[in-house]
Amino acid sequence: MKNETIVILSSRELDKMRKAGRLAAELLHHLEPMVKPGVSTLQLNDEAERWTQAHGAKSAPLGYHGFPKSICTSVNEVVCHGIPNAKQILKEGDIINIDVTLIVDGYHGDTSKTFFVGTPSPTAKKLVEVTHECLCRGIAEVKPGARIGNIGAAIQEYAESEGFSVVRDFVGHGVSNIFHTAPEIPHYGTRGKGKLLRAGMVFTIEPMINLGTWEVEVLSDKWTAVTRDRKLTAQFEHTLAVTENGVEILTMLDAES
Ligand code: MF3
Ligand code: CO
Ligand code: CO
């Protein structure tokens, strides 16, 4: 990562992060009912872009290091950074991660969820449930004085205990007025290792959990990351702030748990 300094956000900046986080969560919630067989990933993208502009925000991915679309749509064996495409039509039994990042008043809200298209296979259902629980267990480690390694350790222990593997090539990241900054948050690791967390740090946790090997490959489009064995993968992401007492999830709606 270019910027090695971990910033501590002011309360004014945290307020902006709350607004961006909330709007990103609302966008995911808005897109969820569109996830049906027959819908293309480009339709999801175009609705996301329309909704984002209508709410006075900007899509952070669009043009980011040349990324061509507004959201990432990662279907089945796609680990992350799937590019929305008119020819990619969702079908019954698929799983799709939709990853949205909005810029509101200069600050970023970054969140993703994996959705079922119709009824999932028992395997897909288990993978997605375990991945969501991995995110929850990672978040539960966040408090001032804890170490970054505790987050990855909690995620890795649980994922591997369920027979799944943790992607290493992509990590959570600091996020503020910059999309990707320090610190890196690996989703594997060792308790007691890594930097100390402090109140006012803001970063994502975004575990990608694979059914088979943890190894990934990037396709010739230079973006789409797939599992090397082409088996299923799932991901959930929240943007979080370390508080004096623990953690505040900035990309969660009140109605969620
Ligand atoms: N939202 C992704 C993340 O969680 C990053 C997408 S970058 C893009 O970090 F360029 F692919 F959009
Ligand atoms: Co992220
Ligand atoms: Co994201």
Q: Which amino acid is present at 244?
A: E
pLDDT confidence band for 3 (50 / 70 / 90) = low
pLDDT confidence band for 48 (50 / 70 / 90) = very high
Task: Determine whether the annotation assigns residue 180 to a binding site.
Answer: yes
| CA distances, 129 to each of 88, 125, 134, 209, 238 (Å) | 25, 6, 9, 11, 16
CA atoms of 217 and 242, how far apart (whole Å): 33
Our separate counts of H helices and E strands in the chain read 4, 15
On whether the CB atoms of residues 117 and 36 are closer than 8 A, the answer is yes
CA atoms of 180 and 49, how far apart (whole Å): 21
Mean pLDDT (whole number) for 12-28 = 98
pLDDT of residue 191: 98
Write out the two tokens for 143.
Answer: 């408090």
Among 45, 65, 99, 185, which is best to mutate for testing ligand 1, by the most ligand atoms less than 8 A from CB?
Answer: 99
Q: Is 108 in the pocket of ligand 1 (CB under 6 A)?
A: no
Q: What percent of the chain has pLDDT over 70?
A: 98
Instruction: Count other C-beta atoms under 10 Å from residue 59's C-beta.
Output: 22
Mean pLDDT (whole number) for 216-228 = 98
SS3 128: helix
For the CA atoms of 60, 63, 69, 71, the dihedral, rounded to the nearest 10 degrees, stands at -20
- For residue 98, report the distance from its CA to the centre of ligand 3, in Å: 8
Q: What is the pLDDT of residues 57-103, one digit of tens each?
A: 999 999 999 999 999 999 999 999 999 999 999 999 999 999 999 99
Look at the pTM and tell me if it is higher than 0.95: yes
Count how many Cα atoms sit within 13 Å of the Cα of residue 47 in the half-sphere of its side chain: 18
Q: 87 CB contacts (<8 Å, ≥6 apart)? A: 40
Q: Is 206 in the pocket of ligand 1 (CB under 6 A)?
A: yes
- For residue 198, report the distance from its CA to the centre of ligand 1, in Å: 25
Q: What is the pLDDT of residues 176-207, one digit of tens each?
A: 999 999 999 999 999 999 999 999 999 999 99
Q: What is the pLDDT of residues 138-174, one digit of tens each?
A: 999 999 999 999 999 999 999 999 999 999 999 999 9
